[in-house]
DNA sequence: TATGAATGAGCTTTCATTCAT
DNA sequence: AATGAATGAAAGCTCATTCAT
């Protein structure tokens, strides 16, 4: 899996340091209870330096969001180009999230706890990102419907919700209980599980 | 559907007034940006009075949570006693949420945006409520597995996550876009859709 | 001399207390170096109470300005109606300032040091107040020119500047050296002096 | 008119650059709202460099003051030596200010708005400069009184205040409204006006 | 019950100043 | 000479909470 770390190291080292410290503190205390002082301390950096790199606490949070969405959309765009059945595309999405959780647990944590809900941070812009995210998956699914790869008697939008909702909840349960995903077998089992349940349902193929 | 309003009317009328005002303001501004003054204003009440009924802002929020969980667990317990296939139990859960969203959209909104995520409010107690909630559904599902009503090759916990996650995301999409659910046809379609996708998967029965 | 104290006592007592404390602190330290904490301490009042009554430090300053202008314009309007030669009108203006300095030295101090110059606080609105002030005196003077009470070979605007400038500087010298004006003889001498020099010039009547 | 530029060009060119930038920024935003960063930007210089030349923001302001007073006292001392009637000496003072305003409007602006009032910057030293300034004019006037060139029934101090106050207000009105004084006719009219009103008063010679 | 004035800890943000390069 | 990253004290403002009435 390609990593976007490349452009990260291009950014100021200190900036990265602060960004990562912020993610840690947001993970630990949540956005609102996190104080800039905590972030600076976590980064072993003076109070003012955080403001040297980021205009405000909100701007810092926005940078994290931007980072998240940038990576995600980049990967989604790659996946959309796959010349493979929808099942493999969806599998790649699940894999992306699980692997990112392994690499950057704090980033995923912040996404789950601070971005994905929390009306406080739901600006018009972030709502648009969500719409683009959902829309992107929706496109894959409705394409699959056209190719008769999956059922057509349910609107693609609902299939999308069920897929993303299930995926998010599985990830959430790991995030909130801070379960590491260091075991690649566990990762594969989860991967297959999510996908299989989504595709064949709780009844499974035996329903035939 | 029975309503728990009965015990609500038992509480002081003013108390209810304040509680509902709080839900509205939390819905509008989120917990952290909501000020006690806003809530008092919304309730047309002095803000000293809010403290007469609720010890603190947190206590006020806790009351809302308690209300939510009380209703939910009561209903779940009823559903658990159904002598019916798991599909009907799950359908009753979906129906509960959709109907509650129709009745008390703010309550569901606060649940989605403030309670279900947001590490700020994730106290040990609320985490326990989530565990009990998930555990309750898990029990229904593993019971069904024992009765061979559903597939047994996936751990009940994951089936539970996929079900609740899908359900939550469908509800979320309504909540966040503030879509009313006043049409009973739409409600039934949604109900069947969620259930059917969960049970038979994205491939549907045709996968046989 | 009528006093506007009446409407002041109508305002909240505490509000007045804070306003006066602010004037004292502004007089002592200047607007910028004055901290809200200083003002609260001076007023023997908690920090937050100042914000209960005044939205911000600027708003507090604006209130002082408003008070100043309100009193001044009220008096100027009265004076303008005098059916007397211009010399008596101008004398009344000088008397107003000298007496106000006796009554409310801090108010005059703040006017001299913070309002009358200091581009920081020169908003469009306060500039307009100055223009109205100068315009009001200008009107008296040009009226006197039409009645041939005073020379007509110099534009009324310049006569106004010379009068107000001289007056302000005399008052400034008292203010900046914190000279009290408790002696009514001194007050009268000053009053006559300013007026006589303005009217008959440095050469005096002997210039004839 | 001789210029003090000689010693200015002796100073570092960059130092001058920064000094002028500071005057511009002080003129635009006032001393307190002016940030060192603004001054550096205005001078197209890094803000570390400003500290290379000036110990602090206050020191920078002090340099501007010193420049102002140095020029003024030099000129006043020259004028004091004139073997001419007081009217010509006072005329030379007015001329100095008007011409300086033409040459260095920002310097005069800073004097009017930041130095001449504003208790914040009124240090003991600057107060002494004011006293020396006023004293210098006072000396000219009391000398004229001894020679019976002007009236002796008013204390020289008050005549001085009336003269300087009128002059300052006339200049202020130009400064605050940012009127250029590029027309030499206007300059002469102003010059004669100020002097004539001060000498013969609002009643003029016709008062005889 | 009901009010809203009063309190003050806590937080974000600014910006003069220092210093390694 | 020159740069600008780094520091941290200082100050404005918010708002949950208390309490006298």
Per-residue pLDDT at A5 exceeds 80: no
The stretch C50-75 carries a mean pLDDT of 96
Residues 6+ apart with CB under 8 A from D146: none
Contact (CB, 8 A) for A176 and B118 = no
DSSP-derived letter for residue D115 is I
Per-residue pLDDT at D3 exceeds 50: no
Per-residue pLDDT at D161 exceeds 90: yes
Per-residue pLDDT at C46 exceeds 90: yes
> Lowest-confidence range among A97-106, A119-128, A146-155, D181-190?
A119-128
The C-alpha of D97 sits at a distance from chain C's nearest C-alpha, in angstroms, of 16
The whole-angstrom separation of Cα D137 and Cα D143 is 10
Chain A residues 67-126, Cβ below 7 A from strand E: none
For the stretch C149-180, pLDDT in tens is 999 999 999 999 999 999 999 999 998 888 88
Burial of B97 (C-beta count, 10 Å sphere; 0-12/13-18/19+): buried
Half-sphere exposure of D70 toward its Cβ, with a 13 Å CA cutoff? Answer: 12
Per-residue pLDDT at B2 exceeds 80: no
Q: Which nucleotides of F are covered by protein (CB under 7 A)?
A: 1-20
For the stretch D26-38, pLDDT in tens is 999 999 999 999 9
pLDDT category at D120 given cuts 50, 70, 90 is low
CA angle, B13 as apex, B8 and B18 as ends, to 5°?
90
For the stretch C110-146, pLDDT in tens is 998 888 766 666 788 888 999 999 999 999 999 999 9
Question: Of B172-176, C21-25, C180-184, where does the model show the most confidence?
Answer: C21-25
Contact (CB, 8 A) for A138 and A80 = no
Per-residue pLDDT at A194 exceeds 90: yes
Q: Which two tokens stand for residue D172?
A: 């202020």
- Collapsed DSSP state (helix, strand, coil) of residue D151: coil
Burial of C158 (C-beta count, 10 Å sphere; 0-12/13-18/19+): buried
Q: Report the distance from CA of residue D168 to the C1' of nucleotide E14 in Å, as an integer.
A: 35
pLDDT at C177: 83
The stretch B9-20 carries a mean pLDDT of 82
> Between residues D208 and C205, which one has the greater pLDDT?
C205
The whole-angstrom separation of Cα B73 and Cα C38 is 55
pLDDT at C147: 96
pLDDT at A208: 41
Q: Note whether C touches B: 3 CB pairs or more under 8 A.
A: no
For the stretch A46-88, pLDDT in tens is 999 999 999 999 999 999 999 999 999 999 999 999 999 999 9
**Phi/psi zone of residue D26: left (φ > 0), alpha (ψ -120 to 50 degrees), beta?**
alpha
On average, the pLDDT of chain A sits at 90
For the stretch A164-190, pLDDT in tens is 999 999 999 998 888 888 899 999 999
pLDDT at A7: 41
Which among A162, B194, D26 has a CA at the least distance from the CA of C118?
D26
Report phi then psi at B140, rounded to 5: -60, -40
- Provide the CA A143 distance to its chain's centre, in angstroms: 23
Per-residue pLDDT at B10 exceeds 60: no
- Contact yes or no for C113 and D118 at CB 8 A: yes
CB burial string C163-178: b at 16+ within 10 A, e below: bbbbbbbbbbbbbbee
Using a cut of 0.85, tell me whether the model's pTM lies above it: yes
The stretch A12-25 carries a mean pLDDT of 94
One-character DSSP codes across chain A? ---THHHHHHS-HHHHHHHHHHHHHHHHH-TTT--HHHHHHHTT--HHHHHHH-SSHHHHHHHHHHHHHHHHHHHHHHHHT--S-HHHHHHHHHHHHHHHHHH-HHHHHHIIIIISS-GGG--HHHHHHHHHHHHHHHHHHHHHHHTTSS-SSS-HHHHHHHHHHHHHHHHHHHHHTT-----HHHHHHHHHHHHHHHHHTTT-GGG-
For the stretch B50-64, pLDDT in tens is 999 999 999 999 999
C26 to chain D: closest CA residue: D119
Contact (CB, 8 A) for C71 and C126 = no
Q: Note whether A touches D: 3 CB pairs or more under 8 A.
A: no
pLDDT category at B1 given cuts 50, 70, 90 is very low
- Provide the CA A80 distance to its chain's centre, in angstroms: 17
Show residues of chain B in contact with A127, CB under 8 Å: 176
pLDDT at B60: 96
The whole-angstrom separation of Cα C151 and Cα D162 is 18
């Amino acid at each position: 899996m390609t990593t976007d770390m490349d452009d990260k190291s291009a950014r100021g080292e200190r900036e990265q340091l602060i960004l990562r410290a912020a993610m840690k503190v947001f993970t630990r205390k949540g956005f609102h209870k996190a104080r800039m002082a905590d972030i600076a301390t976590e980064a072993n950096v003076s109070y003012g330096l955080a403001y040297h790199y980021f205009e405000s606490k909100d701007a810092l949070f926005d940078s994290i969001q931007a980072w998240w969405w940038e990576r995600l959309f980049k990967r989604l765009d790659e996946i959309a180009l796959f010349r493979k059945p929808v099942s493999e595309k969806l599998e790649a999405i699940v894999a992306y999230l699980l692997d990112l959780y392994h690499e950057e647990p704090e980033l995923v944590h912040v996404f789950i706890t601070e971005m994905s809900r929390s009306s406080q941070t739901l600006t018009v812009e972030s709502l648009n990102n969500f719409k683009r995210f959902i829309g992107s998956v929706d496109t894959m699914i409705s394409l699959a419907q056209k190719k008769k790869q999956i059922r057509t008697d349910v609107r693609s939008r609902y299939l999308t919700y069920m897929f993303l909702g299930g995926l998010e909840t599985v990830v959430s349960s790991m995030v909130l209980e801070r379960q590491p995903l260091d075991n690649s077998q566990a990762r594969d089992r989860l991967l297959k599980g999510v996908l299989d349940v989504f595709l064949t349902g709780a009844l499974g193929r035996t329903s035939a």
